[in-house]
Amino acid sequence: MTDRFSLDGRVAIITGGGTGIGRGAALVLAEHGADVVLAARRPEPLESTAKEIAALGRRALALPTDVTDAAACQRLVDTTLSEFGRVDILVNNSGGAEPKPIKKWSQDEFDAVIALNLGSVWHLSRAASEPMLQQGKGAIVNISSGASLLAMPLAAPYGAAKAGVNNLTGSMAAAWTRKGVRVNAIACGAIRAATLMDEADRLGLDEATLAMSNGAGRIGEPDEIGYGVLFFASDASSFCSGQTLYMHGAPGAAGV
């Protein structure tokens, strides 16, 4: 049964792959046999994670990419095909936004959050789905957020964008699953990543306070989300498509 989780011979593209959840997912997929293409804007974290993957005996390629740009997303897929010959897995992980009240957002800031968190999923999924559909098999895993399921006035544009990711996940699954390409999402709770921890420091929040938002009473670790990604990326989830899995430890006091 463990063979169902094997990714031997498969190639994964992971955005935001240099740090946090992206790095955690990249290492988990590599440990289970995948070669990995890492994409994000900053080259240094990508190169660092690529070295870790190479140390596991898998091939890795770091490609600095602006995932809000449709042409850049297409180049990412084209380069992956030219270097590795196939695309089997796409993990849309790039995203984020700073918290601020609704009235404090400028139009440019709002547009940027939508482009990063929702537009990138649209552009890259459409590009990566082409080789997947041609080979008759593939898996797309979108990293969403608990903010997509809750009313969070300090994260309104971000939550709205991630809710769009959840809906887009279902729509793409409905379009492509019968053709062999499954699409699922993971809505994450508070996970130990530099972006979250740095923002918490800025706001004067300690880890215990952050942990209160997760029913388990602790911060999640990036590799824990990585194993959720492995499930959706592998044949272990062959009968699962169009789903958004909320990974946040456990329901909180409100039952969510």
Residue 32: CB atoms within 10 Å: 20
Residue type, 46: L
Which of 158, 234, 237, 246 is catalytic? The answer is 158
Residue type, 249: G
Nearest to 189 by CA among 224, 156, 227: 224
Q: Is 179 a catalytic residue?
A: no
Q: Is 144 a catalytic residue?
A: yes
Which of 144, 148, 237, 241 is catalytic? The answer is 144
Which of 120, 145, 162, 246 is catalytic? The answer is 162
Residue type, 215: G
Q: Is 227 a catalytic residue?
A: no
DSSP letters spanning 62-129:
EEE--TT-HHHHHHHHHHHHHHHS---EEEE---------GGG--HHHHHHHHIIIIIHHHHHHHHHH
Q: Which residues are catalytic?
A: 144, 158, 162
